[in-house]
Amino acid sequence: MSALSKYQEAITECPCRGGGLHQYILKIASLGVLSELTPDQILADCSGLDGLRPNEMEQAINKAFKTVSSDYEPIAPRPISRFAPKMVNALDSFISKIDDGVIELMDMSPISLHGDPDADGDLTLRTLYKPTDSLFIGDVFDRDVKTVGEWLKQPLGKYPHIIPNPMTGDVGMTTEAKMSYRCEQTVKELRYAVCEMDEVPLVKQVKFWIKCISIGVPVSAVIHSGSKSLHGWVKVNCGSDGEKWEKDVRGWLFGEFGKAYGLDPACSNRARVSRLPGHQREGKQQQRLLYLNGEI
């Protein structure tokens, strides 16, 4: 596996704070250096990592580059918010005529979401997948992959994470040369792209997804993370075509379309983890379904 592939997979498997995040981001930065990426590119790719504190990634990048280049000029500390004024203007224009409010978004959902929120995980799986689809569901360090039929035999509320793209159910090689059922190599179908924009105020995120749905972007689900962001699952239907993923997802969704509005490009990997609706985050809100469409 190339250094770039290891770098991309390492981003998808980055643990949360308290699970070794500090050492892991140094590993990501080092793989970025070996992949001959620029500091700004590494910084952009890692801007959405969960639990990352301001300027921690800059410090890791500086340390990684210092080991290979004596004339490297360190990245200066950045402002806490990287949501540039140009993006603010573009987003404000995009959502200018959209009413704000979570209820408006939920009312747009083709599937009624006014039932028991504890059942949101079950509802998501029954609506968007076949019983034979294999999925990763679990905590950040879990690697279990089971069929949807098997997952639905147990309560899903205890599980915080899901990889929306169906998996093969077979083992593959991780960036650490370990065998795992959950990694980039074991993604079977490139069905969904997970979109986040957590540098954007939550009220504007709600408006953004209302606007996207209203103009025909194929949004299958919008999930409140229980914290400061919404996760939008856009149905891209790339099958097993990696070139189509690069063009449609990295090139258009996170590039031509999403870059101006603040979509986080670090989310544009195939095995991106999202929040499983229905889970109650400790000390935070419940992860909730705000929109669900199984008709696209």
Helices 85-94 and 202-214 cross at an angle (nearest 10°) of 50
**What average pLDDT score do residues 130-145 get?**
91
Mean pLDDT of the chain: 86
Q: Mark whether 134 and 256 lie in a shared domain.
A: yes
- Domain boundary (39, 66, 93) is at 66
- 134-138 and 161-167 beta bridge pairing: antiparallel
Do residues 206 and 163 both lie within one domain? yes
Q: What pLDDT band is residue 86 in, cutting at 50, 70 and 90? A: low
Please write the tens of the pLDDT for every residue from 236-255.
Answer: 999 999 999 999 999 999 99
Is residue 76 in a domain? no
If one counts the domains in the chain, the total is 2
* Boundaries of domain holding 61: 3-66
Write down the pLDDT at residue 266. Answer: 85
More confident residue, 55 or 111: 111
Would you say residue 73 lies in a domain?
no
Q: 103 with 243, same domain?
A: yes
The answer to whether residue 122 is domain-embedded is yes
In a shared domain, residues 184 and 97:
yes
Closest alpha carbon to 28 in 13, 45, 10, 16: 10
pLDDT in tens, 168-223: 999 888 767 778 888 888 999 999 999 999 889 999 999 999 999 999 999 999 99
Tell whether 75 is covered by a domain.
no
pTM, whole model, 2 decimals? 0.73
Name the pLDDT band for 294 (thresholds 50, 70, 90): very high
Same domain, 53 and 103: no
Looking at the structure, tell me whether residues 95 and 174 fall in a common domain: yes
Note whether 243 and 178 are same-domain residues.
yes
